[in-house]
Structure 1
């Protein structure tokens, strides 16, 4: 049996824009290689870098604390809802709104449900920020009722982003303790099912969102 790993995350780079209004990451150096030579034996050197970034950068995971003050933060999410989840890809390309018609009849219980819109092809361009596909409120309610373990999307936001700022998908899914992963990429490389999904953030207390290295494992 062969095993294949599929990258599902965007590369984080200095100054990148993930979401309008959120500052891009800034890379720095705590200890340069040249400076480190003063502390180690000849021929031995190290680089210790720093990074300042907003939690909503690149491909990231939302925990319930992102939406609710009493919800589980990153450190409160068990690994079994973040890693080694059976995955399911829902094809949603060419549609502005992902509704119940895309989901009815699917077995989502205990699965990472990944909404493949194809919008990731615009990541890094101005078009990515405008007219993106999103999940409807009733579809989010259905996923929560049917027991999805995690929901991901390869788009700017799992909700519509109008000026009034309503976020029914975030509100419903995070209230049900279902983590969200936004700004995925590479979902076209996955089969409809038969793979395992991983997207575990660092174990940080008091933070609701953080970048992840999302990937899939395909056996056979």
Structure 2
């Protein structure tokens, strides 16, 4: 069995959405001060690095992170590469063999330098939601900060995925990951009232 970490490393240089809360970690207390322990302090946006979006992120009546079922974040995941595209919709996915997978992870390759926030990304089109529901997919993951265009206010892909019962995992790192079926574990913290949460996303290759 092999474990493959597909989450971004978080540090004080991690890029965030322009204007959002920057990630920071510091020691509030040091072992030299307390005589026994180091105690750290972390501050970050709910959408830092590799993270999930709860429906409440884009729908005032949507479920929040702590209300989402755990099975949303664990299961058989198909990793595919669909690169060189402005956008991805039902047409690009219709021929895939999902082989019983309930998660789909897409390597777009459109966020080349993850040390800086991108200017453009490959985004998902609105017609992707119904196809994924038909195929039995419960979660989609992408290697970019959003499933919609970065300047979108209407967020059609977010809403399409929500209407079709599909969870959203953003900012995964699939560089060098073979295209095939894995088990995915990508659990968020149980934060009451949260609209999203960073996750440690891991592929299990058995």
Q: TM-score, normalised by structure 1?
A: 0.85
Tell me the distance in 2 between the aligned counterparts of 1:33 and 1:50: 14
C-alpha distance after superposition, 1:99-119 (max 9, x if no partner): 222211335576111111123
Residue 120 of structure 1 and its aligned partner are, at CA, apart by: 4.1
Tell me the distance in 1 between the aligned counterparts of 2:139 and 2:175: 15
Residue 172 of structure 1 and its aligned partner are, at CA, apart by: 1.3
Structure 2 equivalent of residue 41 of structure 1: none
Residue segments in structure 1 that go unaligned for 5+ positions in a row: 38-44
**1:121-132 aligned within 5 A:** 121-125=112-116, 128-132=117-121
Structure 2 equivalent of residue 42 of structure 1: none
Alpha-carbon distance change, 118 to 208 in structure 1, aligned in 2, over 3 angstroms: same
Structure 2 equivalent of residue 8 of structure 1: 6
Tell whether 2:140 aligns with 1:151.
yes
Alpha-carbon distance change, 107 to 191 in structure 1, aligned in 2, over 3 angstroms: closer
Residue 166 of structure 1 and its aligned partner are, at CA, apart by: 2.4
Structure 1 equivalent of residue 108 of structure 2: 117
Tell whether 2:171 aligns with 1:183.
yes
Residue 15 of structure 1 and its aligned partner are, at CA, apart by: 4.1
Residue 145 of structure 1 and its aligned partner are, at CA, apart by: 4.2
Alignment partner for residue 82 of structure 1, among 73, 78, 88?
73
Counterpart contact for 2:55–2:62, Cα < 8 Å: yes
Structure 2 equivalent of residue 135 of structure 1: 124
Counterpart contact for 1:98–1:134, Cα < 8 Å: yes
Alpha-carbon distance change, 107 to 149 in structure 1, aligned in 2, over 3 angstroms: farther
Structure 1 equivalent of residue 156 of structure 2: 168
Counterpart contact for 1:9–1:215, Cα < 8 Å: yes
Structure 1 equivalent of residue 95 of structure 2: 105
Q: How many residues align?
A: 205
Residue aligned with 2:40, SS = strand
Residue segments in structure 2 that go unaligned for 5+ positions in a row: none
Tell me the distance in 1 between the aligned counterparts of 2:65 and 2:131: 24
Structure 2 equivalent of residue 34 of structure 1: 32
Counterpart contact for 1:62–1:179, Cα < 8 Å: yes
Residue aligned with 2:127, SS = helix
Residue 46 of structure 1 and its aligned partner are, at CA, apart by: 1.1
Q: TM-score, normalised by structure 2?
A: 0.91
Residue 50 of structure 1 and its aligned partner are, at CA, apart by: 0.6
Tell me the distance in 2 between the aligned counterparts of 1:197 and 1:190: 14
C-alpha distance after superposition, 1:15-66 (max 9, x if no partner): 42222221311223232111221xxxxxxx2111011111110110111221
Counterpart contact for 1:144–1:172, Cα < 8 Å: no
